[in-house]
Every structure is written in structure tokens, then in C-alpha cells.
Chain A
Amino acid sequence: MPEIKNTSRKIVKLMQGNEACTIGALAAGLDFYAGYPITPSTEIAEICAEELPKVGGRFIQMEDEIGSIAAIIGASLTGRKTMTATSGPGFSLMQELIGYAALCEIPIVIVNVMRVGPSTGMPTSTAQGDVMQARWGTHGDHPIIALAPGNVRECFDLTLRAFDLAEKYRVPVIVLTDEVIGHMREKVELPEPRSIHPLKRKAPSSRAGYKPYAADPEGGVPLMAPFGEGYRWHVTGLYHDESGFPTQKPAVADTLIRRLQKKVDLNVDDICEYASESLDDCEVAVVSFGSSAMSALSAVRRARTEGIKAGFLRLKTLWPFPEKVVASLGSHAKRVIVAEMNLGQVALEVERIIGTTSGGRSKVERLGKVNGELFHPEEVFNAIRGNT
């Protein structure tokens, strides 16, 4: 493990995705981790257990994933930067409290290194089947942000960014990687630690008249007072008014849930990121994310060398869904192929967007893979060529 603090030297290293994820979290100021180990995410817990005590942080191995997410929610309320990491079965157990964090506006980061599901599935094999669960796994309308790193360096970048987004909007942020990205090792050059400036949580300036759930005029996100510094406020999973105390009043309830949703809806351009190649003149576009996108890019590059006008779009943000860039594909691509290791979860969104914006000029094709293996570039290439 490289030392990441107090150095101006760049780090060039053979690094694993899970390791890069953890170093990104530490660079963001992670100082509290609670988790329950599960393949293929376990390296994150192992490295946190080793590194956090060195920087004055805390690591707790909890009794299960419900305890883990409860612990990081509690720690976040005291001003800590908190994270847990898991995979499908653990992510399922965390759903109830993801909703609690969303409603109570408690910043947390959850890394889900996806494996084949449902249930215990194939623990050591890769999948991308938790896309919709990340969005809708907990009950009720709620804001959520989910990011999908596409290589080891991005595991660092997007975990760091996950903390900033969690603090800025006070929403739970999910980093969705998968077994291939999490376990893959590649040459990585990390930015100089001194060039990293993680976002600080905006705190209130006065205890007098503090309303924990009153939207700050600047940005619309309430200011969060850390427990233990003399502020008194009430945190509940019941609908609440600006004081934090429960309410059943329809008007207050309506205002609350719409305000929560708007924190994300009004900031889609700030949150959404993507990478692309050869989109401008493409006739066939391939949309993908995470490890599938590596196969897709390889296939698109090959198609170009064979004279096929193929383009590549990789979504780095899955939720909120990057609608604008997907809609732009419909203006020139006759075919849009969605390559993902599930049976069409991102495709559902792409179909909705292309269907409503392209006026029938563009057709969406699903390319799903669910056998635990990463796409071979040939499979994506054959889809581009049109002989699946």
C-alpha cells in the first residue's frame, strides 16, 4: 500500500481495482469503515483494516451488512467520512437503510462489487445485474447517485468523487464495480496527493434557531451539524418537517419528498459523466459501462479498422441516468447496441430515451450476457456487424 498523505510524488504502480477504490476513499478523507467481508469486495475491507488505524480512523467488522450500513450512517452523523463495501447478497440486506440515509440526508458511500445473482449465485464470477437495484432497491421515491468505474484508475477517481457528491448533495452514493474491475490489476498513475482537495461538508454557523432540514438558499441542501458539537436535532425515518420532528401533514410531506428528489434532478449536469470515442459520425453506437465497456471499446475500434462507422459511449454515471448524451445518439446512429452483463437493465433506460426522442429513426438492440464471464470483444463485434 502506498502512503497517500503528505507527499508530492506521483504513484505509478500495478494496482488492483479494489485497492484503487480504497486509496480513492482514503484520499477523500475516509475515516470510518464498517463492513462485513464478501467476495469479490473483501480486499476493500482488508486494506481499510490495515490503513485506517494509521491515519487515526476506525475500522469495524460488523455482524452483518445491516449492522455495517447502520454503523456508517451513525458515524456520518458525527461528521466522519464513511464507507462500506459489499456485493449482491450484502447489498440486498442494506436496502432498507439506504432509504433511511436518503430520507434523513446522511452522506454515505457504498461500494458494490457486483457478482452473479440472484441469491448466492456465483460468488467469484462477474455480473452487472444490480443496476436497477441500485436505483430502486429501497422502497419509496428517493434520490440516489450511482457511479460505474471502467478501469482501475477510475476506481480511484470515482470513489473519491462519490464522497464529494455524497457530501455536496447529502445523498447515499453507490459505486458499482464488478468482479473483473475489482480484481483486475493494471498499471495506474495516481494524481499527486497535494492536488486532491476533497469537499468539506457545509456546516451551519449558529446553534441558535438551527433547522436541520431547512434547505440552504445556496444549493438547496440543508446544512448538516455534526453530533457532538452542541447542536440538537432529531433524526427519524418518519417523514419530518424542517425541525426534523415527525409529521403527517400532506403539504409538508409533499414538499419534503420533492425537495429530496430535486437535489439530484436539478443537478444532473453536475453529476453525470461519460466517456466516448468515434461518436460524431457513427451509424452504430455501442452503449456500455464498467468492465463490459472494455470489450465494447475493443470491438468498436476493430469495427472502425474494418470500415464500419461504429461509435462508443461509456456511462460513468448510471444514476441519475445520463439522458442527454443517450438522446444525442438518436440523432445520427441508426442502431444503438446496449452491451451489459445482465438481461437489459441499462437497455430499459436507453429504449425509453431513444424511443421518445429519435422519432423512430433509431433502433435499440440488447446485448446481454449472464453466464459469469466478461464479453469477448468478438461477441460485441458480431453484434455491431449485425450477425448475432
Chain B
Amino acid sequence: MRVEFRLSGSGGQGLLLAGIVLAEAAIREGKNAVQTQSYGPEARGGSSKAEVVISESDIDYPKATDPDFLLALTQEAYSTYGPLMGKGLIIIDSSVETDPDIRARTVCLPILETAATKVGKKVVANIVALGVLGGLSGVASAATLADAVRERVPKGTEELNVKALEAGLALAASSK
């Protein structure tokens, strides 16, 4: 089965890395995964989007066509990609205001706040979000996600990021 993820927010939030880790975890569990990205010419602050497609079989088209999960960390990302959602689930940060015209199922979770207060560093919001996506989708086990995080994050930040991942997994569990 093909599972599609779209991770959206602003440049510098680390969503590309979150997408890479998600794909890495899927591969570690023997699945196929493709990760693509789109971003503006700005180094940070512009809009940023990463997509991950995970499947047991061959993946011919690498981009998300009808995402099963949309993560939107900013208002702009939510209003750009929310209206395109069909069957999938929207996950937004608590700071994002919901729009009644966006009909897809939506969960609202304190991702940015959890990173800043519970984990203690704002910059790991991407890995908290990864935990949420991993927990809600079940595409990889918590242990595999943690291994993939350790492999892909900057050296010396492994434990901080694993803590962020666990906080994200807990958020996912609380929202089910």
C-alpha cells in the first residue's frame, strides 16, 4: 500500500530533515521510500515542503498525489495545502487557526510548544513532528524511528533529538 506524506512549513524549520528520517526509517523496515522537496531560493523564511512516499511495492511517481498525512506548521502552509486534502488527515500546530472551509479531518497538536518547553529547544520541532507522523501513521516502529534519527541528525545532538521524537510519539498517542 502506498502511503503519502506532505510536510509543510517555513524554510529553516527542518522539515526536509524530518522527511529524510521518515524515509530512512521505512527503508530500515524493508519498505521502499522516496523523498522529494520543494523550496524557494531563500535559505530560511520562505515556504518549504517535503514529501515522502512509502510503499511495499515499486514507487513509479515520487510525489504525493493525494496525501494520507499533511503536516502544516504554519498558517500559510495550512491555507495552501489544507484545501487540497481529500481522504487524508491534517496535522496542524496549535498556533495555526483552523478554517471551517477546510473539510479534511484535522488534529491540532502543540508541536512547537512541546519542542520549546518539554524538550527544551525550539529547533527540534521538526523531530517532534516526525514523532507525531510516525506515531499516527505506523509506517515504522518507535525503535526504528529512533535509529533513523540517530543516523541522520548532526553528531552530538542524538539524545536531544531522540527525546524530541519520544515527545512527538507521546503527542500522537494522546490524540488517538
A residues with a Cβ closer than 8 A to B are 12-14, 39, 122-125, 180, 183-187, 291, 294-295, 297-298, 301, 374, 376-378
What residue in chain A is nearest B20 (Cβ atoms)? A185
- Which residues of chain B are near A185, meaning CB under 8 Å? 20, 23, 34-36
CA distance A301 to B61 in the complex (A): 11
Interface size of B as a range: 20 to 34
Question: When the two chains form their complex, are residues B60 and A183 in contact, meaning their CB atoms are under 8 A apart?
Answer: no
Chain A CB within 8 A of B144 CB:
no
What residue in chain B is nearest A372 (Cβ atoms)? B38
12 pairs, A vs B, C-beta closer than 8 Å: A12-B27, A13-B27, A122-B41, A124-B40, A180-B62, A184-B62, A185-B20, A185-B23, A186-B35, A294-B60, A294-B61, A295-B61
Beyond A183-B36, A186-B62, list 11 extra A-B contacts (CB 8 Å). A14-B23, A14-B27, A14-B33, A14-B35, A124-B38, A124-B40, A185-B23, A185-B34, A187-B27, A301-B60, A374-B63
Chain A CB within 8 A of B4 CB:
no
CA distance A125 to B38 in the complex (A): 8
The interface bits of chain B over 25-65 (1 if a CB of A lies within 8 angstroms of the residue's CB, else 0) are 00100001111111111000000000000000001111101
B7 shortest CB reach to chain A, Å: 14
Chain A CB within 8 A of B93 CB:
no
Q: Which of B24, B36, B60 contacts A180 (CB 8 A)?
A: B36
Q: Across the A-B interface, how many residue pairs have beta carbons closer than 8 Å?
A: 56
A220 shortest CB reach to chain B, Å: 40
Question: When the two chains form their complex, are residues A186 and B32 in contact, meaning their CB atoms are under 8 A apart?
Answer: yes
B4 shortest CB reach to chain A, Å: 13
Chain B contacts with A in 70-97, Cβ cutoff 8 A: none
Interface of B is mostly: mixed
A338 shortest CB reach to chain B, Å: 18
Question: When the two chains form their complex, are residues B59 and A186 in contact, meaning their CB atoms are under 8 A apart?
Answer: yes
The interface bits of chain B over 119-149 (1 if a CB of A lies within 8 angstroms of the residue's CB, else 0) are 0000000000000000000000000000000
Question: When the two chains form their complex, are residues B61 and A14 in contact, meaning their CB atoms are under 8 A apart?
Answer: no
Take A123-B41, A124-B40 as given contacts and tell me if A186 and B61 are in contact as well, using a CB distance cutoff of 8 Å: no
- Which residues of chain A are near B62, meaning CB under 8 Å? 180, 184, 186, 291, 294
Question: When the two chains form their complex, are residues A14 and B60 in contact, meaning their CB atoms are under 8 A apart?
Answer: no
A230 shortest CB reach to chain B, Å: 48
- Which residues of chain B are near A297, meaning CB under 8 Å? 60-61
- Which residues of chain A are near B24, meaning CB under 8 Å? 14
CA distance A325 to B65 in the complex (A): 31
What residue in chain A is nearest B148 (Cβ atoms)? A14
Question: When the two chains form their complex, are residues A187 and B65 in contact, meaning their CB atoms are under 8 A apart?
Answer: no
CA distance A64 to B91 in the complex (A): 45
- Which residues of chain A are near B23, meaning CB under 8 Å? 14, 185-186
Most buried by A among B23, B35, B63, B65: B63
What residue in chain B is nearest A298 (Cβ atoms)? B61
Take A294-B62, A377-B65 as given contacts and tell me if A184 and B35 are in contact as well, using a CB distance cutoff of 8 Å: yes
Take A14-B33, A185-B35, A377-B65 as given contacts and tell me if A124 and B60 are in contact as well, using a CB distance cutoff of 8 Å: no
CA distance A203 to B20 in the complex (A): 45
Question: When the two chains form their complex, are residues A183 and B41 in contact, meaning their CB atoms are under 8 A apart?
Answer: no
CA distance A295 to B61 in the complex (A): 5
Take A124-B41, A185-B23 as given contacts and tell me if A377 and B61 are in contact as well, using a CB distance cutoff of 8 Å: yes
Q: Which of B32, B38, B63 contacts A187 (CB 8 A)?
A: B32
B123 shortest CB reach to chain A, Å: 22
- Which residues of chain A are near B27, meaning CB under 8 Å? 12-14, 187
Q: Which of A12, A14, A295, A376 contacts B20 (CB 8 A)?
A: A14
- Which residues of chain A are near B34, meaning CB under 8 Å? 184-187
- Which residues of chain A are near B65, meaning CB under 8 Å? 376-378
- Which residues of chain B are near A122, meaning CB under 8 Å? 41
In order of increasing CB-CB distance, the 4 nearest A-B pairs are A298-B61, A185-B35, A298-B60, A186-B34
CA distance A187 to B23 in the complex (A): 9
CA distance A293 to B35 in the complex (A): 17
- Which residues of chain B are near A124, meaning CB under 8 Å? 38-41
- Which residues of chain A are near B32, meaning CB under 8 Å? 186-187
- Which residues of chain B are near A298, meaning CB under 8 Å? 60-61
What residue in chain B is nearest A380 (Cβ atoms)? B61
What residue in chain A is nearest B59 (Cβ atoms)? A186
CA distance A39 to B42 in the complex (A): 12
Most buried by A among B24, B33, B61: B61
- Which residues of chain B are near A294, meaning CB under 8 Å? 60-62
- Which residues of chain B are near A12, meaning CB under 8 Å? 27
A184 shortest CB reach to chain B, Å: 5
What residue in chain B is nearest A297 (Cβ atoms)? B60
